Each structure stands twice: as C-alpha cells, then as structure tokens.
C-alpha cells in the first residue's frame, strides 16, 4: 500500500506536459467507440473494421503524423479460401450410398486443400494424435496409407495427459491434418465427439496461414492436395448406422480405457469431390510515422491490434465487443501517439501501427514484417500493447523484458507508476510482437492479464480500467522516448526460433 501511494505521488510530480495528455478519460473515449455495439466486434474483412481503421487514421492525421508512402493504410490480403459450392462427399456402405451436402452435413476444415477420389477405404484413428510425450498414440500399428482417416475433434480424456498449452496443441486442426498426411493418408474426416458439450458447430473455413496473396488475384481453383472435412455428428451417426461402426462408442471406449481404439472401418468407403478456390480477404494495417532527427534511419515500432472476433453465436448478446482485446491497446497506442506528436520528434523515427487480423493469426504483423515500410534491420525495438485495460491497476505483465536486459533496465527506471511487473522468461502470449521477435528485434509486450471475459461477449467497455490504460501509456511513452533518444540501439535478441 505504501509503495502504491508513493508510486502515484511520483507519477504526478514527474509528469511532463506531453505525458499529461495521456489521460484515462480520453482512453475511455477511444475504447467506447471501438468497442461499441455499432462496430460489431471489429471482425476482419467487415465494413466495421474499416470504420475502426478510419477512426485511427483520422487521429494520426489530426496529430500531424506522416502517412508513409502517402497513405495511412497498408492494405493486404489474407490467404483466404472458400469451398467450391459443388463440393460433395459420399460414403459407400452395405446399406447403399450416403450422399452428403456441403454446409449441412460437412464443411471444409481449416487447412484443407482440394481433393478428388471416388472410393477409398476408411480407417478410424481415434483423435488423430501421435503424442509420445503424453504416452498416447492413435497411429501406433495403424496403416493409413491411401486411406481416408476418421478422427475425433479435441484430445482424449485421459487423467494427467493433454493438459495445458503443450497438451492442447495436439488438438489443432493443422496438427491432425499433418499427422494424417505425413503417414500417407488420402484425406481426413473430423467429427466432434458426443462427450463434448460445446455443441456441433462447423468452424469457419478460412484457408491456410502459409503465405499472403496479392490483392485482386480473384477466385482461382487450387490444385488437389490433402482434403480435410468436418463431418456433422448427425451425418456421422447416419454413417455409423449404415456401416456398423459407431464412432461415439469408440470415443467412450478411449475415455474408459485410456487407450487408443484405432482400426479399419470395414464396411465403408469414402468418395470426395472437394474443391477449394482462392479468395483473398482484404484488410489493412493503419500506420502513422514520426521521423526522427539525427538517427532518423533507425526505427521504433509501437503496435496494437485493432481487430477482434466479431458478431457470432447464440443468445441475447452475440457481439464480441473486445473492449480489452484490443480496444484498450489501440486506445493506449493512440494516446501515446498524441503525446509524442506534442513532444516532437525523437532522435530515432517512430512508426505507430494498428494491426489488422491479429485474431486470425497475427496476419497484420506478419504482413508488416514481410513487407516492411522501413528496413527491418534498422528497426531497433518493438512495443506491443495487447489487452492493457483489466485487472489490478498496478499489476502488469511485461513480456520481452526478461529477454532484453537493456529494455528491462528502462522499464524499471521509468516505473514511476509503481507497477509490480511480471516478466515471463519464455516467449508466450502469441501477439503482434512475435513476428518482430522472430527477426531478433527486441520487444516489450505490455499485457494486463487474462480474465473471464477474454474472447467472450462480456468484454465490455463498462469493465475497462481506463486508469490502467493511461498509466501503461505513460510508462510506454517514457520508455519509447528513452529508446528513441539514447546513443545506442538495444541489443538484438539472440538468434532463436520462437514458433
């Protein structure tokens, strides 16, 4: 308590004129706009995200930040795919042919490629997981070559296994697709088990995250590869009745025995006619530039994603407002940009970036690093703000500090707010600093921690701690100023792969 009071006192007495324009009231105004129901949760590809982008750009312009290459927007396309509407799947069984239709009975799984085959044998491979580290392998002794593999979604219920982040990665669609593909399977069918209480909704099909597509590439069919579909429970039940294989009984068997129940499905063969078309989804980062003075060729990036996950689901409220995630960080970024426009240039240049499509897999920051507006090797540091408006006011996670002694010393020296910092030593918390970290750019990622409303419809502006946003903004502003004005750039991160 004593420390806390001292912190507040110091903050007030040391507050510079520039820093004092970072205010809780203005932060709340930004959050209230970005997280309003009218913006429908700022989903990538929607007109609502464009409105949010314009809001940020208008402020950058109003504060006199420069537009790099004449534009406050950096447009890019997500490698989006869509299913060919003629896609069809059928099963041959002793009871006859079961023809399934796209949208009702099945959907393409994220990561699916096109695939056409008339009649291939089928094999059940549990959860499609080979995890020696968890003591579990659905593929042990199983020959899937040239066959269609039927698997369950998620991970098996086994005491003490598949817990935490390390265990949950086995549930990823991409992991299941890869496991089947690398064993020579011809295709994959995924079914949500009956034991799962989360319902049986198809996950949207967006395509791979392997690369970026140019704008205007249009709808082009992609060549055959490894098709993967999500089959409805209802269709799986019908298949089971027709061929005598009950996937839900096998699911229960795995839970009861803790052992895989893999094996061929004797009385069914699968035919796929699955088409995938290239259809990039266009979106934009918002950028504002303040050129430096005598070290202007060196750059500091201050970033915050401004997108969120949109409007979906059932119930009285379906809008995922994303007040904390990440209207809070965007508001913080705006307040820092405003303060810096008042204080004037630093020795080094500063680029503010509101990133798009973070929620779909760090698309905006990955695109920026792939197509930077200023040289990456001259980018000396990155400050990321993602969720800075919740939990106890003076508790703050600062990722990256433990990896950069120089930056760590700065946050400690500038901590007149009296924050108690948590400094994770491992790189976790996937957000927009990651692509920069992969380029060995030292970073500070400010994060006020998870809460029950994370990615829920209850992430509302009413629950925002705007005082905290302002305090984080002031701290980040002073750290930014220090990095921008000192003689030496921070040391590069050691060469390592953070993926």
Q: Which residues bind Zn ion (CB under 5 A)?
A: 325-326, 386
Q: How far is the CB of 445 from Zn ion (least distance, A)?
A: 11
**Beta bridge pairs of residue 117:** 272
Residue tagged 């500063």 (tokens): 350
| Residue closer to Zn ion, measured from CB, 79 or 304 | 304
| Residue closer to Zn ion, measured from CB, 151 or 304 | 304
User: Would you state the structure tokens that stand for residue 53, as one six-digit string?
Assistant: 């982008």
| Residue closer to Zn ion, measured from CB, 325 or 466 | 325
| Residue closer to Zn ion, measured from CB, 43 or 414 | 43
10 Å Cβ neighbour count for 351?
Answer: 23
Classify residue 429 by its DSSP letter: S
Nearest to 221 by CA among 73, 38, 85, 362: 85
Give the span between the Cα atoms of 472 and 303, in whole angstroms.
Answer: 14
| Residue closer to Zn ion, measured from CB, 325 or 397 | 325
Quote the Cα angle for 361-363-366, to 5°.
110
Give the span between the Cα atoms of 435 and 259, in whole angstroms.
Answer: 39
Evaluate whether 179 touches 129 at the Cβ level (below 8 Å).
yes
Nearest to 229 by CA among 121, 151, 122, 143: 151
Give the span between the Cα atoms of 405 and 490, in whole angstroms.
Answer: 9
Q: How far is the CB of 83 from Zn ion (least distance, A)?
A: 28
Find the radius of gyration of the CA atoms of the chain.
25
| Residue closer to Zn ion, measured from CB, 92 or 307 | 307
Q: How far is the CB of 358 from Zn ion (least distance, A)?
A: 6
| Residue closer to Zn ion, measured from CB, 72 or 306 | 306
Q: How far is the CB of 285 from Zn ion (least distance, A)?
A: 15
Q: How far is the CB of 369 from Zn ion (least distance, A)?
A: 17
Q: How far is the CB of 326 from Zn ion (least distance, A)?
A: 4
Evaluate whether 28 touches 35 at the Cβ level (below 8 Å).
no
Query: Does residue 326 have a cis bond before it (omega within 30 degrees)?
Result: yes
Give the span between the Cα atoms of 136 and 156, in whole angstroms.
Answer: 9
| Residue closer to Zn ion, measured from CB, 232 or 326 | 326
Give the span between the Cα atoms of 193 and 236, in whole angstroms.
Answer: 10
| Residue closer to Zn ion, measured from CB, 176 or 366 | 366
What sign does the dihedral 427-433-435-440 (CA atoms) show?
Answer: negative
Q: How far is the CB of 431 from Zn ion (least distance, A)?
A: 6
Q: How far is the CB of 154 from Zn ion (least distance, A)?
A: 24
Evaluate whether 45 touches 283 at the Cβ level (below 8 Å).
yes
Q: How far is the CB of 366 from Zn ion (least distance, A)?
A: 15
| Residue closer to Zn ion, measured from CB, 325 or 335 | 325
Residues 6+ apart with CB under 8 A from 103: none
| Residue closer to Zn ion, measured from CB, 468 or 489 | 468
Q: How far is the CB of 325 from Zn ion (least distance, A)?
A: 4
Q: How far is the CB of 332 from Zn ion (least distance, A)?
A: 12
Q: How far is the CB of 444 from Zn ion (least distance, A)?
A: 16
Q: End-to-end distance of the chain based on CA atoms, in angstroms?
A: 40
10 Å Cβ neighbour count for 75?
Answer: 12
Residues 6+ apart with CB under 8 A from 487: none
With H, G, I as helix, E, B as strand and everything else as coil, classify residue 341: helix
> What separation in angstroms does the CA of 282 have from each of 213, 409, 446?
10, 40, 28
User: Reading across the β-sheet that carries 443-447, which strands appear in turn?
Assistant: 73-78, 281-290, 348-355, 295-305, 379-385, 443-447, 395-399, 420-422
């Amino acid at each position: 308590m004593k420390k806390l009071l001292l912190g507040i006192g110091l903050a007030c007495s040391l507050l510079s004129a520039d820093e004092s324009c970072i205010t809780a009231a203005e932060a709340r105004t930004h959050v209230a706009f970005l997280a309003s129901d009218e913006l429908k949760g700022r989903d990538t590809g929607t007109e609502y995200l464009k409105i949010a982008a314009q809001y940020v750009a208008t402020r950058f312009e109003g504060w006199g930040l420069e537009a790099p290459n004449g534009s406050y927007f950096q447009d890019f396309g997500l490698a989006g795919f869509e299913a060919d509407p003629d896609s069809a799947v059928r099963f041959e069984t002793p009871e006859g042919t079961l023809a399934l239709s796209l949208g009702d009975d099945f959907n393409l799984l994220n990561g699916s490629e096109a695939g056409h085959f008339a009649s291939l044998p089928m094999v059940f491979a549990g959860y499609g997981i080979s995890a020696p580290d968890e003591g579990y392998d659905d593929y042990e002794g199983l020959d899937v070559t040239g066959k269609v593999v039927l698997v369950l979604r998620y991970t098996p219920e086994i005491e003490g296994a598949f817990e935490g982040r390390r265990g949950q990665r086995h549930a990823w669609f991409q992991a299941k697709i890869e496991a089947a593909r690398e064993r020579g399977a011809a295709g994959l069918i995924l079914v949500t088990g009956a034991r799962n209480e989360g319902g049986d909704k198809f996950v949207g099909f967006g395509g791979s995250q392997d690369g970026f597509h140019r704008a205007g590439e249009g709808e082009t069919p992609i060549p055959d590869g490894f098709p993967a579909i999500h089959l409805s429970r209802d269709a799986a039940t019908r298949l089971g009745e027709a061929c005598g294989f009950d996937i839900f009984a096998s699911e229960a068997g795995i839970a009861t025995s803790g052992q895989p129940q893999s094996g061929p499905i004797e009385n069914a063969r699968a035919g796929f006619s699955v088409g995938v078309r290239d259809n990039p989804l266009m979106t934009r980062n918002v950028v504002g530039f303040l050129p430096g003075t005598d070290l202007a060729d060196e750059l500091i990036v201050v970033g915050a994603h401004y997108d969120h996950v949109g409007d979906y689901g059932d119930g009285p409220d379906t809008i995922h407002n994303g007040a904390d995630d990440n209207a809070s960080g965007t508001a913080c970024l705006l307040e820092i940009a405003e303060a810096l426009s008042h204080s004037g240039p630093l020795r080094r240049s500063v680029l503010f970036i509101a990133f798009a499509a973070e929620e779909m897999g760090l698309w905006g920051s990955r695109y920026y690093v792939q197509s930077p507006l200023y040289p990456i090797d001259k980018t000396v540091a990155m400050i990321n703000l993602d969720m800075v408006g919740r939990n106890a006011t003076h508790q703050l996670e600062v990722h990256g500090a433990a990896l950069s002694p120089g930056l760590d010393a700065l946050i400690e020296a500038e901590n007149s707010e009296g924050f108690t910092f948590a400094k994770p030593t491992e790189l976790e918390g996937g957000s927009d600093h990651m692509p920069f970290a992969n380029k060995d750019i030292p970073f500070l990622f400010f994060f006020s921690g998870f809460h029950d409303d994370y990615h829920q419809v209850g992430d509302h502006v009413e629950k925002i701690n705007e005082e905290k946003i302002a305090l984080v903004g002031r701290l980040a502003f002073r750290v930014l100023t220090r990095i921008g004005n000192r003689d030496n750039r921070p040391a590069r991160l050691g060469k390592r792969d953070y993926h």
